Amino acid sequence: MKRKFCILILFVLPVITVQAQCPVENNYFIPGEELTYDLYFKYGLINTKAGTSVLKTISERYNNKDALKMTMTAKSVGMANKLFTLSDTLTSYLTKDLIPLAYIKNAHEGNEHTKENVSYDYSDSKITIKAKLIRNDVLRFDEIIMSGNCIYDMMSIVCYARTLNYSSMKKGDKTTTLFLSGKNKVNMDIEFHSTEIMEANDGNKYECIKLVLVINDKAFEDRKEAMRVYITNDNNRIPVRIDSKLKIGSTRVILKSMKGNKHPVKTKTS
């Protein structure tokens, strides 16, 4: 009987281990948080205000379980829309303790239309990821990817970065995790650079933690910067500015307004 129990433990232990490593305690944001940004586009010598972006978090059901649904929209308008059309919707479903469940991207960028769908299954001893991408109505890949460790996508990585402890970090210190880049598992470094005073477009200045998210993997000849994120150095960790690269040019979003934040917000003068 004791031998059978030990064998059962050996089978169950990997499942417990892979699931136990992924939950994250989130004391920084809650459903109802809504952040509005001014969107800027840069390409060559062109650097112009291009539109608006909204990051919204709500409570939702996913596969009949309570979850967080985070949606980020970005849309170009006016003259910028004539130079480079941008209409993106990124959606992420996560458990309340920030385990990724699904990631959906529907992006119109210039002449390209990209639809990407990612789902995560934690029912086995490894994480099973289904990743599918269609670009301009052509299937680019439809893959099943296995991972023995927690792995994040473009939306959930920012959520994860908001929860890390930066209080004792020095410039260059980093946290490394797995990141899903298309159909590839790569290493993502979340690097702490400094604290800086950032002026937002809501008329306030905030002390921010500057983070650089870098793909650092042998699949790439050089380290590839994915984005720069400036989050408030308070109990909210609100993204004040996010810089990210497109296939053509780059975008920057700067905070314009916020509501639904969990804690009182600290500005430079408060």
What does the pLDDT look like over 145-173, one tens digit per residue?
A: 999 999 999 999 999 999 999 999 999 99
- Output the pLDDT for position 12: 46
Q: Nearest 10 degrees: CA dihedral of 178, 98, 13, 189?
A: 20
Q: How far apart are CA 113 and CA 134, in angstroms?
A: 8
- Output the pLDDT for position 270: 56
- Output the pLDDT for position 197: 97
End-to-end CA, the chain: 65
- Output the pLDDT for position 5: 44
Number of residues that make up the chain? 270
- Output the pLDDT for position 132: 98
Read off the pTM: 0.88
- Output the pLDDT for position 246: 74
User: Which stretches does DSSP call E strand in 78-183?
Assistant: 86-94, 100-109, 112-121, 127-135, 138-147, 151-152, 174-181
- Output the pLDDT for position 109: 87
Q: How far apart are CA 234 and CA 200, in angstroms?
A: 15
Q: How far apart are CA 134 and CA 224, in angstroms?
A: 23
Q: How far apart are CA 137 and CA 135, in angstroms?
A: 5
- Output the pLDDT for position 125: 85
**Residues in the chain, pLDDT under 50:** 2, 4-16
- Output the pLDDT for position 265: 92
